[in-house]
Structures are given as C-alpha cells and as structure tokens.
Chain A
Amino acid sequence: MNRREFLKLAGITGIGLSIPFEISPVPAGGAVSSETKLAVATGSSPSEITKAAINAFGGIRKFISRDDIVVVKPNMAWDRLPEQAANTNPEVVAAIVRLCYEAGAKKVKVFDRTVNDARRCYAQSGIAEAVRSAGAAVSYMDDRKFKDMKIGGEAIREWPLYQEIIEADKVINVPIAKHHGLAKITMSMKNWMGVMGGDRSRIHQKLDRSLVDLSLVIKPTITVLDAVRILTANGPQGGSLADVRKLNTVIVGTDQVAVDAYGATLFGMKGSDLGYVRIAAEAGLGTMDLSKVNIIKIDV
C-alpha cells in the first residue's frame, strides 16, 4: 500500500467510522455534536455489562456487518494477571469477539505489541485463551507487517504502523482505564501505542501530542473502555492489589475523546486534566465536555 492509498483508506474509514449509525456531520474545528453518546453499564458480569452497553447503541449489528474482518484491540502489554488490572479484562474482550461473530464477522483478530514478553503477556493476561475459545484469531506481532506510514501530525510525522489494523474493515478499541506516570491515566487513545512499530519509547518526549496524532489516523468503529477493575497507582503495570479498585463498569462510545473524558472521572479527574484529551478536543477529534454528551447509564 502506498501513501496515497493509505490516506484514501484512512479517510474513508475515518468518515465511515465516525458516523456509524446516525447521520451527523464530522466534527470539525472543535465544533461539538450534541449527538455524542456514551453508554455506561454497571454490573457483576463483565460480559453482560459489555453486551448491555453495546445494546444501548442499538446492538453490535449497528457497527459490524456480515463478512467484516474485525480487529479487536485490547491492552495486553503487561505480564500481569487479570485481577492486577494492568491488561483489559479477558471476559470483556471475549464478549466483544462473540458479538462480532454473532453479527456475521468473517474473522476477528486480536493482537497487541506488548512491553513484557509477548508469550507471557498473552497467556498471563488470560486474554489469549478467552478470545481463542470465542473463535478469535490470536497472533503475535509479525515484524514484517509494520509499514512506515504518513501520520502527518505535529509530533509524529511518520511511523511504522501494524498493517492488520489499517487493513481491517472494522476496529474495536478495548482499553482498560489505569494510572500512568506521565499521561496520568491511560485509556483509549493511549492504546494505539500497541500497533506502533519501531522504538516507541521516543514518543514519551511529546506524549500527549503523539497520542492525538495517532488517534487522528487510527479511528475505531467503537471504543469499549474496561473499568471492571481500574488501576489507581503504580501504573501502567501495577502489581499490587491494593492499587486496584473494582468498579464493575464498562463504558462504550464512538467518540474516543468523550470515552477518555468520562474515564477520567473514574479517577476523580476531568477530561481537561489530561493533556491528550484537551489537545484532541481542540483538534476536533471529539468532545471532552461531558455536559454535552448524552450519557446513558445502565445497571445490569
């Protein structure tokens, strides 16, 4: 794929993804659509609340079509157990995989570029096993599939990105909400680091701006923020159960800025406290003002 094709594809996907079911104008120049909606489901079963929150948007069929190739992108970057809340909850990820297949998806792929050893991350997070039994194709990153791509952002002009996510028909972002020393909290926008190739540690020099640059080119069909357990300190990998809080919550939205802005409130912050949320809102990527977001709360 050359640069022009990529831009075309990214553009089409971006437009396609940002208006999944309602005809609403693409937000531009900080203009905020009052249609922005979030579903916040709470309950004891991670898979049930995931389904309930997606149903609030009219069900998975609003997003996934027959024969789609779907990438479900959890955060499984760390060699940690599910209860340590460093990786996305495996039940949430598996529930999404099942829903995609119910909607007729041809193939659901799950992968992440891990920080710790990939074999341990995939196994210890519980995600590989959970999604495999749901029928997903789980693969380790293949170095040959990172291709240099034009990002054209302020901080990142060009970067190798994972082709499988660029070439997918639909992308579902499934991050977990947790503490991070530099970004304060990491959620959906930070999750795109998992499809970056090369030496990604360099983006920490301009982290907030870099995350926005990435989010401008990788746009998910839908974002499912896992807050079944959140990590409140010593993130992003934690390790101590004392830092974990169980919220039994899942947040679903199509606007990743709104999702992250809502996620901030779980930690007693506002969206505007997070640099990348602020910059993203300014860049017109979405809305961080929750008073303008239609938040549907569901108790399962």
Chain B
Amino acid sequence: MQTVRRISQGIFLLLFLFLFVQTQSKGADELGYPVKIFLDFDPLIFVTTLLSSHSVQKAFYFSLVIIIATLALGRVFCGWACPLGTLNNMAGAIRKRRPAVISISWNRVKYYMLIFLVASSLFTLQLAGIIDPISLLIRSFAISICPLFEYSVRGLFDAIYAFHPAAADRISEPVYSVLKQGVLSFQQPSFNQSAFIGVLFLVIIGLNLVQKRFWCRNLCPLGALLGVLSKYSLLKRSVSEGCNECGACASVCQGNANPDKKEGWKNAECLYCWNCDDICPQNAVSFGFGGGVRGVGIDLGRRRIVASALGGIITVPLIRVSPLASSVSLSPELIRPPGSLEEGKFLRRCVKCGECMKVCITNGLQPAFLESGLEGLWSPVLVPIIGYCEFRCTLCGQVCPTGAIQRLSLEDKIRVKIGLAMIDKGRCLPYAHSTPCIVCEEVCPTPRKAIWFEEAVVKDRGGREHILKQPRVDLDLCIGCGICEAKCPVKSRPAIYVTNIGESRPGGKQLLLS
C-alpha cells in the first residue's frame, strides 16, 4: 500500500508543480491552468473566507469534494494528496534513524490554531492564509523557493556560457532552452521579503528532522479541520485478535494516532497512510468500512478552547487599532492591483497565497510589509519601480482564488485607476535641466495619452534658448499603471511616480471633484 500511496502523493505533487509553473503568462489574454485549482479544493480557506467576507467564490464549492472525501475516508487528503504533506514526507525520509516517539501533546496545537482562525474569521479577520498549508506552499514557492531555484539554475548555465560559449551552444544551451520553455519563469523573479518567507518555509521543512511530519502532526490547521471531520469517517481501522502489541506500528505512524493502542486509536490524528497495516508482522491491522473502532476523541480541554477562541477574537481589534489600518492614513505606496475590492473587503478575502505575484507579468506585484497594517502583511502591492501594471493584462484577477482581486474584462481593466502619476519637477529632465526626454509620454498606454506635453522655451547655462517638451499628466485619463515611473530615465528616484491617490475603488483616496 505504501507504493500506491507514494504514487498518489507523487502525482498530486507533480500536478501542483505543473499548475504552479503554468501560472505564468504566455502572451495570451487568458491563462490556461492557474495553480489556484488547489486552493479551490481547500476547505479551510472556504470556511474562513465564508465567515470573514460572508461571500465566497463559486469555485470554492470544489472543497466540498475534500469534505465529503474526509467524511468517507478520513484524512486521506493529508496522507495521500497534500503537496506540503508530501514534501514533509520527503524531508522526513532524510532522517533515517527513527526518532523516539515524542510523547509531547503538541498535536493539540493545530486545533487551537484552527479555533483561533475560525474565531477571528467570524469577526471578519482573515488570517487563515498565513498558515493554511496550500496557501503557505504557493506563497513560499512563488516568493522564495522558485526564485531561489531559478537564480541557481540561471547562474549555472550563464557561468557555462560565459566560460565557453561555443561549447555551451552545443551542450548546455539546448538543455537551458528546454528549461526556459518548460520550467523557468520568463524573467528571474525577485520579491521583497523573499528571504524571510523562504526561511519560514525551510524551518517548516526542517522540523521534520525533529519529528517526521512535525507540521502535519502539530501545526497544520487544515489537518485539524479535516481531523475533526475525520472522526465521523466511514473508513475505519480495526485490529484483529492476532495483535501481540509488538509496537511496530507505533514507530511508523505518520500522525500521532496511537496505532499500537488498539482501542485507543486516535481517528482524527490518523493520516490513513496505511503504514501500520503494511508493517504489522501479524497482519492484524486492516482498514475497512463499517465496524472497526470508533476511535477516541480529541481532548482539547474546555479552557484552552475558550482561550484560543478569545485569542482569535481579541486579535481582531488588536491588529486593527493602528493608524496604518485606517483608510486616510494608508501608505501612499499601497497601490493595489486593478480590480481590488475596497481595502476592508479586500483584506477580508485576501489569503496571501501569492498567486497574483507569481503571475504578475512585470514582477511589479510584491508582498506588502506594513503598508496596510499588520493585517495586510504579504498581501499584494504594486511597486512600479520594480514593475508596472501592464495595460492590457488581466492575469492577477484571473488567478485570485478569493475574489479579493476581481476578474476584470479587458474593457474594464483599462479604465480602472489604481493610482495617479505626478511629476517631480525638481528631477524631471525637461523641467529641471533643460534636457529633452519625454519617455513617460512615449510609453503612456492610454489610447488618448494621459501624459501630454507642453512646449516651453527654456534657456541653458549659456543663455541659449531651446524649445523643450515638458510632460504634464492628465488626471482624468491617468490610470496609475506606473509604466512612466518604471521607464523614467531618472532611475534612482523617478521624476514621475505613482501613489494611490485617486484610485477608483470605493473607499480609496479620491482627488478629483467629478
């Protein structure tokens, strides 16, 4: 059974990686298979989003499949499908020596986390995405692991090319071009906080050396949710009379399910990995529908449940009583992707999965730090100097699993204002330095250009007169895409730059009268 399970895990991991790589533009308007499909099947995101925003994307009803599967088969998702679980499995295999069965009761922590998240989402705070395994995995891969991997691969091939271009053309370059087409991103991605997010992920993977599947046993809130459902599952484990309590099964259990305890088997902790069945020298363990052991419940302790719930509730005002979180004092750099909901509603939905950042065609969408308060940590924010918002691109709205970024038609997208550009006359070449430029006007993408120019007569140092074109911004037409800022030749601090003033989403900072 172990082989069958590993094949299943492999298929789901490969499927995840395939969809992840596909979450990238090929130049067409529509994206084929975004990785959001995995999130669509995630019941934790479904439940918390439903509670926090009182609305849910239709695609989330796919997660009912996982709920029904769990009710029928127990936590098979954890044991057989979850890509993070599979990675934990693989990392755990590095440690050959069987760890002593740690008898700590940390496995309850995940339930407290679940209670915390559900309680806070009930009061409109959506924090589940931070530690939901699927969201966490996509984010870690998009922001950190994938850029790290690509940097190494590119570095390797570039080094070979630089060392001996002719040999590289014959040997390494064909491999490189296959990788470029099939695996690597179009450009080397790079993100703020990449190292931070990456280290967190590596810590989770590294914890497998302390205890195999440490994350799945002790921390994963989705595992906790499925564990609760698993109590009612139809597929049960039973131990026949042949058991001589040798304890072999306890050493291979991937959860903390007490398989050696016969009647004390913890249903909710069982990942249905079948290891106990495989290893049993007496062949006494079997899984089957009907009959079997009911399994013991999880004793979380009433006080701790209440404390976790209260913790979740108190976190709501704790995080929100910050001047950063109020709409007037939102950071001017908080430029949300086009189609984003009003800030409050946006935060209730965004699960910080990082798919929009992965798919962003210019790499301009970056994980926020405190631009929108603590609540907005790792939510997407456009940093035009890194990458502008491509005029005819609608991909971020296509991949957003929760509708925090609405899917826009092309006609709507090109009218949405995400901010406004303003000119710094003290740095702009035609204004401050009587030097022709007008690159901002050239690249301005609105059909009637939002950046226009005035011809002005200016004198140079020698007193000679020159006619110069000086850029002006038409605030009615400007949509704040930021290409002017990205392409401005005054690279260090662009002479034209976008802030979120004038964004067209409701509750945004308005500027113009009409």
The tally of residues in B whose CB lies under 8 Å from a CB in A reads 34
Q: Are B392 and A79 within 8 A (Cβ)?
A: yes
Contacts of A181 in B (CB 8 A): 438, 441-442, 449, 453, 469
Contacts of A202 in B (CB 8 A): 489
Q: Are B489 and A119 within 8 A (Cβ)?
A: no
Contacts of B99 in A (CB 8 A): none
* Given A116-B390, A144-B158; A236-B26 close (CB under 8 Å): no
Q: Within the complex, which residue of A79, A124, A204, A238 is in contact with B439, where a contact is CB–CB below 8 Å? A: A204
26 CB < 8 A contacts A-B: A79-B392, A116-B391, A116-B445, A117-B362, A117-B393, A119-B27, A119-B186, A119-B361, A121-B27, A122-B27, A123-B26, A123-B28, A180-B442, A181-B449, A182-B436, A182-B438, A182-B442, A201-B439, A201-B487, A204-B436, A204-B439, A204-B489, A234-B447, A236-B442, A239-B445, A239-B447
Alpha-carbon distance between A104 and B10 when the two chains are bound, in angstroms: 49
Q: Is A205 interfacial (CB-CB < 8 Å)?
A: yes
Alpha-carbon distance between A204 and B491 when the two chains are bound, in angstroms: 15
Q: Interface code A219-246, partner B: CB below 8 Å = 1, 0 otherwise?
A: 0000000000000001011111001000
Alpha-carbon distance between A117 and B393 when the two chains are bound, in angstroms: 10
Contacts of A237 in B (CB 8 A): 443, 445
Alpha-carbon distance between A55 and B469 when the two chains are bound, in angstroms: 42
Q: Within the complex, which residue of A80, A120, A199 is in contact with B393, where a contact is CB–CB below 8 Å? A: A120
Q: Is B25 interfacial (CB-CB < 8 Å)?
A: yes
Q: Are B438 and A240 within 8 A (Cβ)?
A: no
* Given A119-B27, A204-B489; A234-B161 close (CB under 8 Å): no
Alpha-carbon distance between A119 and B186 when the two chains are bound, in angstroms: 8
Within 8 A of B (CB), among A71-94: 79-80
Alpha-carbon distance between A235 and B446 when the two chains are bound, in angstroms: 10
Q: Is A293 interfacial (CB-CB < 8 Å)?
A: no
Alpha-carbon distance between A239 and B445 when the two chains are bound, in angstroms: 8
How far is the CB of B386 from the nearest CB of chain A, in Å?
14
Contacts of B439 in A (CB 8 A): 201, 204
Contacts of B443 in A (CB 8 A): 115, 237
How far is the CB of B433 from the nearest CB of chain A, in Å?
9
Within 8 A of A (CB), among B296-323: none
Q: Are A199 and B438 within 8 A (Cβ)?
A: no
Q: Is A207 interfacial (CB-CB < 8 Å)?
A: yes
Q: Is B448 interfacial (CB-CB < 8 Å)?
A: yes
Alpha-carbon distance between A207 and B453 when the two chains are bound, in angstroms: 17
Q: Are A120 and B442 within 8 A (Cβ)?
A: no
**Which A-B residue pairs are the 4 nearest by beta carbons?**
A123-B27, A239-B447, A119-B27, A240-B447
Within 8 A of A (CB), among B443-457: 443, 445-449, 453
